[in-house]
């Protein structure tokens, strides 16, 4: 029977990217027109654009618990992470520590350094996706030049408690970078309170525009730039700043900051409704990762007995946009490395799907999604057993 494609798309892939909020679009449209001048120009139009740029910087920094001069604008999460990793290590190779299952932006930046002589030390995570604390005292501290850890995992949504690791890093004077790309704009994040040295964010994960992100870096840390050019961003990231995108990023974060608790509850209610519905309508299912320490919007769930790729295709035909592993790794059928590191059994590795809800989703959509997903899963299981 041909799939019914007449029903509307239910977008449950907000960890891949989000739809910009209407107020973000409005702010950007205004600034593309009104603040087009180069913020580095000394004439009145340039000064006006700089004012917008600096007001946006102040607002973003303040929401994230940082000083304005600690925020460097970049093109997004990947660039911020590369700048932190490449910019914080010394010139002579040493060791970098990172957990198993980090985002490719971190892993590949570290692999690039490994090819030039750096050593990588992988940190263990437990079956819930949380860092194992016992290992911290056994790290090769004398040779460590950097530790980089995700605050909230893009696949599982699992949130790390960075306190113990940050304390050890401070004690050993080793810089700690945190990839907060999935956390910022979903949960409150305070740069100084985290006790880290650098933190990466990207606007398109919190209903802001694509093509803009930021690296927060403690004032006392020296950062070697990746690219060279003009004096922008205190020469740490030269290039004419995209004022309209930066204003859009500020508007998106301000929308979250206006009521973070409501945003959290809204996302959590939607995600929990989806999770409960799937448990009820297509058992057995296995929810991956800590359910206590998890982003409010993320559900990584296994459907034992099925395979991921065909299920993803069938869900797409049913109008459900979701993801198998991260978007950056899609196209490959390898299980998500983080699930492997969590020692998940094969039935979980074979078929885990990430649903990530967003501010535009509704309860009615969750009920509709449960019906569509359960229909596909149960039909595929019936076919397998025949």
Is 85 an interacting residue with respect to ligand PLP (CB under 6 A)? no
CA 264 distance to own-chain centroid = 16
Q: Choosing from 328, 344, 351, 384, which is the catalytic residue?
A: 328
Alpha carbon distance 371, 375 (integer Å): 6
Considering only 60, 181, 299, 338, the residue that binds ligand PLP (CB under 6 A) is 181
186, 80, 61, 20: CA torsion to nearest 10: -50
Alpha carbon distance 45, 320 (integer Å): 46
**Residues 254 to 313: which contact ligand PLP by CB under 6 A?**
none
57, 63, 65, 67: CA torsion to nearest 10: 20
Q: Are 280 and 170 in contact (CB under 8 A)?
A: no
CB of 210 to ligand PLP, least distance (A): 7
Please work out the total of residues on this chain that contact ligand PLP, with binding judged by CB under 6 A.
16
Helices (H), ranges, 206-356:
243-257, 260-281, 308-317, 337-341, 346-350
Is 76 an interacting residue with respect to ligand PLP (CB under 6 A)? yes
Q: Which residue is nearest to ligand PLP (CB)?
A: 77
Q: Name the percent of the chain in helix, strand, coil, to the closest 5.
A: 45, 15, 40
**By C-beta, is 96 or 285 nearer to ligand PLP?**
96
Stretch that binds ligand PLP, among 29-37, 75-83, 89-97, 237-245 (CB under 6 A): 75-83
Alpha carbon distance 43, 2 (integer Å): 62
344 labelled catalytic:
no
Is 150 an interacting residue with respect to ligand PLP (CB under 6 A)? yes
CB of 178 to ligand PLP, least distance (A): 10
**Residue 195's closest CA among 157, 144, 160, 236?**
160
Considering only 31, 50, 57, 103, the residue that binds ligand PLP (CB under 6 A) is 103
**By C-beta, is 50 or 175 nearer to ligand PLP?**
175
Burial (CB count <10 Å: 0-12, 13-18, 19+), residue 231: exposed
Considering only 99, 101, 129, 202, the residue that binds ligand PLP (CB under 6 A) is 202
Is 148 an interacting residue with respect to ligand PLP (CB under 6 A)? no
Is 241 an interacting residue with respect to ligand PLP (CB under 6 A)? no
Stretch that binds ligand PLP, among 48-56, 61-69, 77-85, 121-129 (CB under 6 A): 77-85
**By C-beta, is 282 or 324 nearer to ligand PLP?**
324
Alpha carbon distance 114, 96 (integer Å): 9
CB of 177 to ligand PLP, least distance (A): 11
Is 328 an interacting residue with respect to ligand PLP (CB under 6 A)? yes
**Residue 340's closest CA among 125, 150, 179, 97?**
125
**By C-beta, is 179 or 350 nearer to ligand PLP?**
179
Considering only 209, 213, 214, 358, the residue that binds ligand PLP (CB under 6 A) is 213
Considering only 97, 139, 175, 179, the residue that binds ligand PLP (CB under 6 A) is 179
CB of 47 to ligand PLP, least distance (A): 30
Considering only 60, 105, 252, 324, the residue that binds ligand PLP (CB under 6 A) is 105
Q: Are 13 and 352 in contact (CB under 8 A)?
A: no
Residue 299: its H or E element:
strand 298-302
- Sign of the Cα torsion 8, 12, 17, 18 reads positive
CB of 96 to ligand PLP, least distance (A): 16
Considering only 14, 18, 154, 300, the residue that binds ligand PLP (CB under 6 A) is 154
Q: Is 240 helix (H, G, I), strand (E, B) or coil?
A: coil
Strands laid side by side in the 176-179 sheet: 71-74, 213-217, 198-202, 176-179, 144-150, 95-99, 119-123
**By C-beta, is 154 or 372 nearer to ligand PLP?**
154
CB of 305 to ligand PLP, least distance (A): 29
Contact residues toward ligand PLP (CB under 6 A) are 76-78, 81, 103, 105, 150, 154, 179, 181-182, 202, 204, 213, 326, 328
The residues annotated as belonging to the active site are: 328
């Amino acid at each position: 029977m041909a799939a019914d494609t007449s029903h509307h798309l239910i977008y449950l892939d907000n960890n891949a990217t989000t739809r910009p909020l209407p107020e973000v679009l409005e702010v950007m449209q205004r600034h593309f027109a009104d603040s087009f001048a180069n913020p580095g120009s000394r004439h009145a139009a340039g000064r006006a654009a700089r004012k917008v740029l600096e007001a946006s910087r102040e607002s973003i920094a303040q929401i994230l618990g940082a000083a304005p001069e600690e925020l460097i604008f970049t093109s997004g999460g990947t660039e911020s992470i590369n700048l932190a990793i490449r910019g914080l290590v010394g010139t002579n190779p040493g060791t970098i520590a990172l957990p198993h299952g980090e985002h490719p932006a971190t892993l590949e930046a570290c692999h690039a350094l490994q090819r030039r002589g750096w050593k990588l030390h992988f940190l263990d995570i437990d079956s819930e996706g949380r860092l194992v604390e016992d290992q911290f005292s056994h790290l090769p501290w004398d040779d460590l030049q950097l530790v980089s850890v995700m605050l909230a995992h893009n696949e599982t949504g699992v949130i790390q408690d960075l306190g113990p690791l940050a304390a050890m890093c401070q004690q050993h004077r080793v810089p700690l970078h945190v990839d907060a790309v999935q956390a910022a704009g979903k949960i409150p994040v305070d740069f100084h309170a985290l006790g880290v040295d650098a933190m990466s964010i990207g606007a398109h994960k919190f209903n802001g525009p694509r093509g803009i992100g930021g690296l927060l870096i403690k004032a006392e840390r020296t950062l070697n730039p990746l690219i060279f050019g003009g004096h922008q961003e205190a020469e740490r990231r030269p290039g004419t700043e995209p004022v309209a995108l930066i204003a859009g990023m500020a508007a998106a974060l301000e929308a979250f900051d206006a009521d973070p608790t409501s945003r959290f509850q809204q996302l959590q209610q939607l995600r929990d409704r989806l999770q409960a519905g799937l448990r009820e309508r297509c058992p057995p299912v296995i929810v991956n990762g800590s359910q206590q320490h998890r982003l409010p919007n993320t559900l990584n769930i296994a459907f034992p007995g099925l395979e991921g790729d065909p299920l993803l295709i069938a869900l797409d035909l049913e109008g459900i946009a979701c993801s198998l592993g991260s978007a950056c790794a899609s196209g490959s059928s390898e299980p998500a490395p983080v699930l492997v590191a969590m020692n998940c059994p094969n039935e979980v590795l074979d078929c885990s799907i990430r649903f990530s809800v967003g501010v535009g989703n509704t309860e009615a959509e969750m009920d509709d999604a449960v019906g569509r997903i359960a229909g596909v899963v149960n039909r595929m299981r019936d076919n397998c057993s025949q």
